[in-house]
Structure 1
Amino acid sequence: MLTVPVALRRLDPALPVPRQAREGDAGVDLHAREDRTLAPGERALVPTGVAIALPPGYAAFVHPRSGLAARHGVSIVNAPGTVDAGYRGEILVNLVNTDTREAFSVRRGDRIAQLVVQQVATPVFEVVDELPGSERGAGGHGHTGTTSDTDPTGAPVGRATADPRDQHDLED
């Protein structure tokens, strides 16, 4: 397994240091530093009690916890949230309660998100008049349709469409 040294400042020493729930997990758990109750549809920045210093060429990404999403409709507004290598402030999680009826309470110490550290590349853009072709081309949201071209045996069953007129209900 690849490892990278990350300096971590504990802003709340009573909270655990972020760690993997199981060996081999991609993310480490972030914990809530404060109690918060989110009304239906409400969002709030929840502090985690940690700040980090990533090495150059790395970024950390704050991902929702799948269990919170599945059981309570709680997610992250800007998922994944990006922590740049130069950021030194406390990691905050922008939680949102998508449930339309029930409030959700976060308690101090609850695991509220996962932090995934990844190596990132810096793009060097080259302005061109045209882009090279590709199999996908300029097809956007929903352009491959909602049905498979073939069933598990390989027989044709549906037709994917690249007609933008068929996308009107899939885009904002």
Structure 2
Amino acid sequence: MHIPVLNRSRHPLPEYQTAHAAGLDLRANLDAPVTLGPLERALIPTGLSLEIPVGYEAQVRPRSGLAVKHGIGIVNSPGTIDADYRGEVRVLLINLSNEPFVVNDGERIAQLVVARHETISWQPVETLSATQRGAGGYGSTGQS
């Protein structure tokens, strides 16, 4: 699949880091470092704008290394980039640790995964089919 991309950053286009990786690493495109204090969040630019095909979305996901080593996550994870959005991809990082974290220009801050999705139409009904789980919600499975 080919994705049209505008790269207004100082960095190369995102690449897969291994042959079977699902996500491409997104890099921060910053004029100056951004420091995130504990529980602070910031919208970090990437300098990239994409043209996602209709029937697909791009998902912005956290990087596991930043999460485990520094407590850095993404507030709205996964963030969705719709096929009709043409603006810059920005990543809403949050620092869930007790220590300040500095985001530097060119740092890999998130992953981008492109995935197919379906467009639905609602079918109003009076009842739904029965299942073993039924309406059991949070924590209801696996209990006897």
TM-score band by shorter chain is: over 0.9
Note the alpha carbon deviations across 1:30-61, whole angstroms, 9 max, x for none.
00001211000000000011010011100000
The runs of at least 4 aligned residues of structure 1 exceeding 2 Å deviation read none
- Written as runs of structure 1 = structure 2, the 5 A alignment for 1:13-32 is 14-32=10-28
Among candidates 67, 70, 73, match of residue 69 of structure 1: 67
Structure 1: state its 5+ residue gaps: 146-159, 162-172
- Corresponding pairs, count: 142
Secondary structure of the corresponding residue to residue 44 of structure 2: strand
Note the alpha carbon deviations across 1:88-126, whole angstroms, 9 max, x for none.
000010000001x20000100000000000011001110
TM-score, normalised to structure 1's length?
0.80
Letter in 2 for 1:16: P
Whichever of the two has the greater Rg, that structure is 1
Alpha-carbon offset, residue 16 of structure 1: 1.5
Among candidates 109, 120, 129, match of residue 106 of structure 2: 109
Percentage of matched positions with identical amino acids:
47
Among candidates 131, 134, 137, match of residue 134 of structure 2: 137
Q: Which has the higher strand share?
A: 2
TM-score, normalised to structure 2's length?
0.95
Letter in 1 for 2:8: L
> Which structure ranks higher in relative contact order (CA pairs < 8 Å, sequence separation ≥ 6)?
2
Structure-2 residue corresponding to 1:153: none
Structure-1 residue corresponding to 2:86: 88
Structure-1 residue corresponding to 2:35: 37
